[in-house]
Structure 1
């Protein structure tokens, strides 16, 4: 793929053997060599803690905050550092009001980290948890809009569905939320970094993403965008670094009631992780250098070609391109994914995953045309 506007394969930046077709970024994105080196250097620093200065607790974490803010068109003050989406949505559930008789809306088969917090919130408040059924025509936007009404207080969604890449029009959904006064909470783990996201256009109340999939960062490190209207909400935990003047270690015994500015009050404790933060920083910078728009165009070209070929050679269906995120493909088998197929693919060093009724094929910028050829060779042998 050398067409104008598309990235050539970046495989040389990753430790992926030539005989491995890793088409499973939606499961876990590999870290690039540069990110691994940055993480190893940070880990080594812990071996000589006398060299770690108080300012080191702040410098890299603030740099990461600013890089993520740039990725979503926010400011660093709007970003908190969290370990997981469950934590970020826990922050959102703790902050957002919900009254008895109101409702929280999520999708059928949505990833649990953006469902369980809302089930519990609804239970505590004697509110309803409403599930949007899977639409037969894959039009999730229409299905969500049909269920937003005057009782809806919180709409908790992904940008694209994690089983098959079904895309949601979050701008249209935001408008509907505005009409009824509902909050919008987005889990963008399966899209952020490779699908452009502009918080100024979508205006989520909370946006959270784990960094270890499409953002190619370390596990247990993620990001939470908090709309400024919620910056004064109570945090989930009360750690020392989120308080005013925490930079002065000599004065930490002078307990403070005030917090660091903006969304920093929502940071997880020990957010300055000396191994994970440098790796996350390197990964974010790499994504920004490529650009989410360019990555999306590159991966759309790849998945569209796979979808067309899978339909022609095996009669497999998938979400139509205009209702699917370009980086995501879920291949649907009429009788369900053959149970033995994933194992046969893995035995031939072709890695995909099965979620729901779809076999996910999720390439990233490190994939090559040969990876796709290997996928189809093994599928032909397995399905013949």
Structure 2
């Protein structure tokens, strides 16, 4: 499968129907669990099948073609974010990307890092692990157990603070942080910003030229509709020499294929943070899936996917309220996302999830309620199937 970013005619004329046709899961399920594990897109599944055939029948005779997917994946990530391909590296998961920064930063005793309360453990434990080096971890309470306000984060910053680390979109609440405001104010104070983007990358517009985040990491198995075990990280070039690479291997250096006379000279780009043999099947699948996002963005602009997702999420909220369900609604649209957390009075979230699954409607339980995570290929029929379950219970 050759990855391309050129939009197809159907992408332009009927983008969401076109995308839905790339999602075999939609034939049976109304699937709203993208914040947990997204279903594989058809291009990703086709690549996995193709890879298995090639690997079993041709072995490494086609390895060069597999290897080109590494560059394709970094390039797609850069294209989606307006970033520099040379500042992206491939990682096995978001946790690895977080640890690249948390463990690689040149901490000294007395430094501090600021994070919001309620982060997913992957964006908590790596920072807590720095306490053994004398680093203070300042955990900032959320407002109403939901909102992450930039004012609150900045109130915890002082001259010792080196990094603010947070999720772009809260995994349970769906609250989306104003990254523009955060990065501007953090940089004014000389503080770097790390963003766990796993719940937002590809869905919401991000221009890394306009919003100069220092570090970013995101897995591909949620909203990007790829497999588990592969993702991308972005590290600004100005931090290359500041971060100590954690895992040095043959792939980290300039002459990466000079096995007989190896030279320990790190690559000039972010591949210095890659180490060894890559997950070729996963990388090819994620590259193929990410191209769906690139095609839509190229045809309809960087806000098209976000507008679609937020419109469907708003529709779901309105219909939930009409049934008597309880859901939090952010007054500021900039803080909304495709994650809708709700409660059905008298019904435990786990019980609702089972009832929904019996009707081929897939949701999850997070926080104190049911979490529905809506993607661009979902449609009003999917939402009505979820509402039917709400009414039935």
Please say whether Structure 1 and Structure 2 have the same fold, judged by a TM-score greater than 0.5: yes
In structure 2, C-alpha distance between the alignment counterparts of 1:120 and 1:137, rounded to whole Å: 25
Deviates more, 1:184-193 or 1:85-94: 85-94
Q: 2:351 aligns to what?
A: 340
Q: In structure 1, list runs of 5 or more residues that go unmatched.
A: none
After TM superposition, give the deviation of residue 213 of structure 1 in Å.
0.6
SS in 1 for 2:163: strand
Deviates more, 1:82-91 or 1:231-240: 231-240
Conserved in 2, the CA contact under 8 Å of 1:165 and 1:319?
Answer: no
Q: 1:280 aligns to what?
A: 286
Q: CA RMSD in A?
A: 2.3
Structure 1 residue 20 corresponds to structure 2 residue 26: no
- Counting only pairs closer than 5 Å after superposition, residues 220-231 of structure 1 correspond to structure 2 as 220-231=229-240
Conserved in 1, the CA contact under 8 Å of 2:94 and 2:217?
Answer: yes
- The structure-2 alpha-carbon separation of the partners of 1:316 and 1:133, relative to structure 1 and needing over 3 Å to count, comes to same
In structure 2, C-alpha distance between the alignment counterparts of 1:37 and 1:50, rounded to whole Å: 18
In structure 2, C-alpha distance between the alignment counterparts of 1:48 and 1:308, rounded to whole Å: 53
Q: 2:244 aligns to what?
A: 234
Q: 1:125 aligns to what?
A: 133
- The structure-2 alpha-carbon separation of the partners of 1:77 and 1:352, relative to structure 1 and needing over 3 Å to count, comes to same
After TM superposition, give the deviation of residue 5 of structure 1 in Å.
10
Q: 1:331 aligns to what?
A: 342
Structure 1 residue 358 corresponds to structure 2 residue 365: no
Q: 1:151 aligns to what?
A: 160
After TM superposition, give the deviation of residue 252 of structure 1 in Å.
0.6
- The structure-2 alpha-carbon separation of the partners of 1:52 and 1:114, relative to structure 1 and needing over 3 Å to count, comes to farther
Match among 262, 276, 287 for residue 269 of structure 2: 262
Conserved in 2, the CA contact under 8 Å of 1:185 and 1:204?
Answer: yes
Q: Which runs of 4+ in 1 moved over 6 A?
A: none
Structure 1 residue 205 corresponds to structure 2 residue 211: no
After TM superposition, give the deviation of residue 336 of structure 1 in Å.
8.5
Q: 1:252 aligns to what?
A: 259
> What per-residue deviation string (whole Å, max 9, x for no partner) do you get for residues 186-214 of structure 1?
10000101011122222222100001111
TM-score by length of 2: 0.89
SS in 2 for 1:117: helix
Structure 1 residue 289 corresponds to structure 2 residue 295: yes
- Counting only pairs closer than 5 Å after superposition, residues 85-100 of structure 1 correspond to structure 2 as 85-100=94-109
After TM superposition, give the deviation of residue 23 of structure 1 in Å.
1.1
After TM superposition, give the deviation of residue 137 of structure 1 in Å.
8.2
Q: 1:215 aligns to what?
A: 224
TM-score by length of 1: 0.91
- Equivalent pairs, count: 374
After TM superposition, give the deviation of residue 332 of structure 1 in Å.
4.5
Deviates more, 1:124-133 or 1:188-197: 124-133
Q: In structure 2, list runs of 5 or more residues that go unmatched.
A: 1-11
